[in-house]
C-alpha cells in the first residue's frame, strides 16, 4: 500500500511539473514584406533558454522555469518582446520592423593613386635596400626561364625541328594578350641554387643544387642544357634598367617608372 501511494504521489508530482511547462510556437516574419526571417534569435526574457527560427521563420520553445515574456532579435531589425502565459501552450507570431540607421554624409573626391605614394617611399629607400649595396649576402634561388614563339606559320610547323611536336603544337597552345594570339612554349629552364655575393672585393659564387631543362631539340642533361640552365639570372629591380635576352627593359622601380607602368 505504501509503495502504491508512493507511485501515485510521484505520478501526481510529474503531472504537476508537466502542467507548469510553458510552450510557445510561432512564426517570425518581416513586417513590410511578409517574408520569413530565418535564424532569428528567440528566447525567454530573463533566462538562458533560446532557439533559432528555421528557414521558414518558424520556432518552438519550451521551459519549466518562470517566464513572463518572450523576445525576438535579429540583425537589421528592432527587437520585439511579447507577454506569455506561464504553464500553457500558446502561439505567438512576430512581425519584425527594420531598424534603419542614419549614416553621416560621405564625400568622395578624386585624388592621387595611393600606389604612387607607396612607390615614392620605395624610391626614397632604393639605395638602402639595393642588395648590390650590401657588404655581403647569400640566398637560395629558384630561376625559371620560359621562351615561347608566336606567329606560328604552317611552313614553320613543317620544319624538322618542330616536326616531332606537330601534334602538340595543334593541341596544346597557350593564349596570350587581348588579341588571343597563340603562343607555343619551346624552351623551359628551372634551376635551384645557393647564391653568394660579396662587395669588397666583388665576388659572386653559385652552387647548383638541381636543374631541369626541356625544349624543342634539347635533351635534359646534355651539354647545351647544362650551359643554358646552370646560371642564376640576377635581375636587380632597384636598378633603372634590366637586361633580359640582350634587350634592356625599364625596371618597375626605375626613377621614372610611373611613365612606363600603371601601379595599382
pLDDT tens digits for range 183-234: 666 777 888 999 999 988 889 898 988 888 776 555 555 545 554 555 556 7
Where are any strands of DSSP class E within 92-236?
Answer: 94-96, 136-149, 174-176, 181-199, 202-215
Q: Which domains are seen in the chain, by residue range?
A: 2-96 (2.60.40.1120), 131-235 (no CATH)
In sequence order, what are the residues at sequence separation of 6 or more whose Cβ sits closer than 8 angstroms to the Cβ of residue 71?
Answer: 42, 43, 44, 45, 79, 80, 81
The reported pLDDT for the residue numbered 38 is 94
To which residue does cell 503531472 refer? 15
Burial 27-45 (b: 16+ CB within 10 A, else e): bbbbeeeeebbeebbbbbe
- Greater confidence (258 vs 13) lies with 258
33, 57 in Cβ contact below 8 A?
no
Q: Is the pLDDT of residue 68 over 80?
A: yes
Residue-level pLDDT at 83:
96
Q: What's the pLDDT tens digit per position in 80-133?
A: 999 999 999 999 999 999 987 767 888 888 888 889 999 999 999 998 888 888
pTM for this one?
Answer: 0.42
pLDDT score for 147 = 74
Please say if the pLDDT value at position 143 is more than 80. yes
> For 16-64, how does the pLDDT look when each residue is reduced to its tens digit (9 = 90+)?
445 589 999 999 999 999 999 999 999 999 899 999 999 999 999 999 9
Q: What percent of the chain has pLDDT over 70?
A: 70
Which residue in this structure is represented by grid cell 627593359? 249
Amino acid at each position: 500500500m505504501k509503495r502504491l501511494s508512493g507511485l501515485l504521489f510521484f505520478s501526481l508530482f510529474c503531472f504537476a511539473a508537466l502542467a507548469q511547462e510553458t510552450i510557445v510556437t510561432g512564426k517570425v516574419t518581416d513586417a513590410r514584406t511578409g517574408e520569413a526571417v530565418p535564424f532569428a534569435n528567440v528566447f525567454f526574457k530573463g533566462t538562458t533558454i533560446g532557439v533559432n527560427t528555421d528557414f521558414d521563420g518558424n520556432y518552438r520553445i519550451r521551459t519549466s522555469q518562470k517566464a513572463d515574456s518572450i523576445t525576438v532579435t535579429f540583425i537589421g531589425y528592432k527587437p520585439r518582446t511579447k507577454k506569455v502565459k506561464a504553464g500553457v501552450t500558446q502561439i505567438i507570431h512576430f512581425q519584425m520592423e527594420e531598424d534603419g540607421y542614419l549614416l553621416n554624409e560621405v564625400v568622395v573626391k578624386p585624388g592621387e593613386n595611393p600606389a604612387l605614394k607607396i612607390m615614392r617611399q620605395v624610391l626614397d629607400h632604393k639605395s638602402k635596400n639595393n642588395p648590390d649595396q650590401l657588404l655581403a649576402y647569400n640566398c637560395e634561388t629558384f630561376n625559371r626561364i620560359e621562351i615561347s614563339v608566336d606567329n606560328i606559320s604552317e611552313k614553320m610547323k613543317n620544319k624538322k625541328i618542330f616536326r616531332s611536336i606537330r601534334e602538340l603544337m595543334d593541341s596544346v597552345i597557350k593564349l596570350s594578350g587581348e588579341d588571343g594570339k597563340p603562343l607555343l612554349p619551346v624552351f623551359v629552364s628551372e634551376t635551384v641554387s645557393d647564391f653568394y655575393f660579396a662587395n669588397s672585393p666583388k665576388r659572386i659564387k653559385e652552387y647548383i643544387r638541381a636543374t631541369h631543362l626541356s625544349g624543342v631539340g634539347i635533351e635534359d642533361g646534355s651539354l647545351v642544357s647544362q650551359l643554358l640552365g646552370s646560371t642564376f639570372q640576377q635581375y636587380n629591380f632597384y636598378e633603372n634598367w634590366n637586361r633580359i635576352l640582350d634587350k634592356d627593359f625599364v625596371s618597375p622601380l626605375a626613377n621614372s617608372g610611373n611613365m612606363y607602368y600603371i601601379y595599382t
